[in-house]
Structure 1
Amino acid sequence: MNVQEDFNKFIKDAKRVLKVSRKPDGNEYLDLAKISALGVVVVGGIGYLIVCLGYLIGL
């Protein structure tokens, strides 16, 4: 395959994805926001615990 064929395949695949995709409704968007916020809180909590553990150990 050459570059032109790869590019045409990518464009064809991108068009297909855009045809199938849809805009999320309000409830779906709210669920995604909640899950994302929970992930941020969990990762931040883990980072905070690591820093606290480092202070306790004396690093």
Structure 2
Amino acid sequence: MSVQESVNRFFKECKRVLRVSKKPNREEYLNFSKVTAIGIAILGVIGFIIALVFQLIGI
């Protein structure tokens, strides 16, 4: 497969993805935002707990 064929194939796949994709409606956007915020909060709590444990151990 030549470089030009692989580039053409890549652009065809990009066009297909853009045709299939759609803009999220308000409900989908809010759900995505909630899940993202919960994930960030969980990671923050885990980081805080790890920092607290290290401070208590004295490392």
Question: Aligned residues: percent identity?
Answer: 47
Q: Which runs of 5+ in 1 are unaligned?
A: none
Provide the TM-score with structure 1 as the length reference: 0.96
Question: In the alignment, residue 12 of structure 2 is paired with which amino acid?
Answer: K
Per-residue CA distance 1:8-48 (angstroms, 9 max, x = gap): 01100000000000000000000000000000000111011
Provide the TM-score with structure 2 as the length reference: 0.96
Q: Which runs of 5+ in 2 are unaligned?
A: none
Number of residue equivalences: 59
The residue number in structure 1 matching 2:30 is 30
Deviation at 1:51, TM superposition (A): 0.3
Deviation at 1:3, TM superposition (A): 1.3
Q: List, as ranges, runs of 4+ consecutive aligned residues in structure 1 with deviation greater than 6 Å.
A: none
